[in-house]
Every structure is written in C-alpha cells, then in structure tokens.
Amino acid sequence: MRGVFTIEDLRRRARRRLPRVVFDYIDGGADGEVTLRENSAVFDRVRFRPCNAAAMGPCDLRTTVLGTEIQLPFLLAPIGSSRMFFPRGECVAAAQAGAAGTGYVLSTLSGCRLEEVRAATSGPAWYQLYLIGGREAATAAIARARAAGFSALVVTIDTAVAGQRERDLRNGGRELVSGDPWKMLPHVAQLLARPAWLIDFLRDGGMMKFPNVVIPGEGAMAYEDVGAALERSTVTWRDMAWIRDAWQGALVVKGVLDAEDARRALDAGADAIVVSNHGGRQLDCVAPTLVALPGVVDAVGGGAEVYLDGGVRRGSDVVKAICLGARAVLVGRAYAYGLGAAGGAGVGKAIEILRSGVIRTLRLLGCLEIGGLDRSYVEGS
C-alpha cells in the first residue's frame, strides 16, 4: 500500500489488477452514468463553515446505529459478488470492518455463506435482503441471518429491475456467466490479461453460486443473469409486513430518495432509512443522495435513524453528510476498490483513508466530536 493516499489511488490499483469486466462492475453505473458522477460531484458544492481558534484535543468518532456503538461514523455497504474481486471477498471485508470497530452489511448476492461472514467479523453485521428466489427462499435466508447473529435486516426497495449498465453489456458480462463457451469466447481475453487475478479466482473455486439464495428443490442459485432474477422478485410496501414478522428485529429500508417514500418506510415499521440511489446503478438522472438527504431527514422528524450512501470518497464527505442530518454513512465503492486492489490490506487502507480524513476535517472545523456536527458547519448543497 505504499504510495496509496486516496481512494482514487486504490481505484487505479484495482483497475490494474482486475479484468475489465470485474473492474467496471465496481466502477460503472446506469445508462449515461449521470447520477454516478453527480453523487460525488455534489459534495464539492457544499462549503464548510469552520470555527477557528477552538481548543484542540482527541477526536471522538463514535456514534450509535440502531442502539449499537461503533467506533467510526461509517459502515461498509452491501456489495454483491465481492468474491469476484478477491478470494472470500465478503469475509475479508467483514473482518476489516470488525477490526476497525465498525459494521458490515452483507448483500444477499454474496459468494460466501452468511454464517461464515458473520463469524469473520467482531463488529455488528447486518443482512441486506433481496427477494430473489421467491418468498420461501427469502424467509429461509432471514431465519439463517437471525440465527447467525445478524443484528439488522436491510431491505432494498429500488430494484424493480436492474439498471442498464452499459459497461457490463460492452464487456460481455452476461456472456461470461452464461456457461456457453461460444458466447464466452470473444470476452475471455480480458480474463487472461490478468493472470494473477485469474489464478486467485480459480483457486477460490471459480464461478461462484449464491449460497444465501437457496431455491427449494434446486439448491443455491447459480450465477445467472441477476437482472432477470430481480425482475421476478420485486419488493413492494405490502411485503414489509411479512418481512417484518419473519425478521422480528431492527428493520432498515434502503433506497429512499424523497419525503413520501420516507413516510411510507416509517409506516412500514422501519427503524432506519438509507438515502440511496444504489450508487447510480439503477435509475439514472435521479437526485444525488446528498441533495435528497435533508428532505428525508426533515420528513422523518426523528422517527427513524437516517443514513446516506453514494459518492463518498473522502473523510470530509462523511462529515458533510453528518452535518446535513445523517446518523452515519455507508461506503461502498470506496472499500470495493481497496478489496479489488489488494484484498484485506486494501479494505483496511480504504477505512484508514476515510478515518484519518474525518479526524482532519473535524480538527479543522473546530468540532472534536461527531455528535457535535450539525448544519451550522456547512453552507450550500
């Protein structure tokens, strides 16, 4: 990790190590990638209002999420297929989150069993739910997550269909997972061009299945076209009742961008809401999450905790989101670049880059506690 000082440095390292199809899966967004770009660019338009000549001392980065104290004001967001980036990728990332004293959110579309991921981390772990495989498969996964010790269920509501990710189409992502040698052949060269990754991939078992999506009578779901699977398993507000009854624990609704959906989430029994546009990977040209955040916070009115994800690349971004009302931030691509670049060392480096950035920003703002941040420290959006 010598010479790595920013998340962008990790991004460049990941690009060198990963095949194009895998890197673009992490890096890309939907359609023209307008929202993908705006999610990050909007942070640049928020200006700080520091209180200078303030007394200095140690910074306190602790916060609580759903009643659990974490040592950092950010958690690692759910990212599907992380095992494609690095062997046992979900377990590796979860272990780093625990070592840093923060939480990890596991995607339904994990390549590692949820029980293994929970055992890999000493920190809090949440399970993110898609209804892929149908209600029976989802109910079984919920029961497993509860038994394994996951402390919250995160229901993603913005995936009625998968967004059109044009990089994946150009790179032959669907063809490479089709199992048809003739469809795969034109795209294999990009895998052969990254022999170190390919060796790791094959040693880790090659093309994975989704062991947390166990379809009755069939077993673990194969790595098929996830878009088609999502389209068959759209979650609606009506589903929240049986999901809540099956889970009987803290419920987080992820994918909220406006006041109306925020109020629906409250009515559905949400304990927390994630302001998210899926990292710009679903519907393009929607509001950047930092723009949507204050309106959702105001609509919720303290009835649930509010988190943000999307576009976070620096510790100062984390601070801006908290100033604008987020209890904590979920970071996705920032650590995924680290995982793709260097496995656990890369994830740990991403966490440290963000942590040190938060500390530096707090000191320069004259506010030494995450809990002391509010809108008085920023202007513009």
The answer to whether residue 188 is domain-embedded is yes
Q: Is the pLDDT of residue 20 over 90?
A: yes
Question: Can you say how many angstroms the Cα of residue 118 is from the centroid of all Cα atoms in its chain?
Answer: 16
What predicted TM-score, i.e. pTM, was given to this entire model?
Answer: 0.95
The answer to whether residue 1 is domain-embedded is no
Expressed as residue numbers, the domain containing 46 is: 7-379
How does pLDDT run across 81-125, given as a tens digit for each residue?
Answer: 999 999 999 999 999 999 999 999 999 999 999 999 999 999 999
How does pLDDT run across 266-317, given as a tens digit for each residue?
Answer: 999 999 999 999 999 999 999 999 999 999 999 999 999 999 999 999 999 9
CB 243 within 8 A of CB 142: yes
Name the H helices within the chain. Answer: 7-17, 20-27, 34-41, 89-99, 114-120, 135-148, 166-171, 173-176, 181-184, 189-192, 195-203, 226-231, 239-247, 259-267, 289-300, 315-323, 333-365
- Count structural domains, the chain: 1
Q: Tell me, what's the pLDDT at 380?
A: 63
The answer to whether residue 172 is domain-embedded is yes
Judging by beta carbons within 10 Å of its beta carbon (0-12, 13-18, 19+), is residue 363 exposed, middle or buried? middle
Q: Is the pLDDT of residue 1 over 90?
A: no
The answer to whether residue 308 is domain-embedded is yes
- Indicate which CATH number applies to the domain containing 311: 3.20.20.70
The answer to whether residue 2 is domain-embedded is no
The answer to whether residue 210 is domain-embedded is yes
The answer to whether residue 141 is domain-embedded is yes
Give the three-class secondary structure for 129: strand
Mark whether 278 is an active-site residue. Answer: yes
Whole-number percent of the chain with pLDDT over 70: 99
Residues 6+ apart with CB under 8 A from 64: 70, 327
The answer to whether residue 140 is domain-embedded is yes
Q: Tell me, what's the pLDDT at 225?
A: 61
Catalytic residue among 20, 83, 187, 278: 278
Q: Tell me, what's the pLDDT at 161?
A: 85
SS (H, E, C) 198-263: HHHHHHCCCCCCEEEEEECCCEEECCCCHHHHHHCCCCCCCHHHHHHHHHCCEEEEEEECCHHHHH
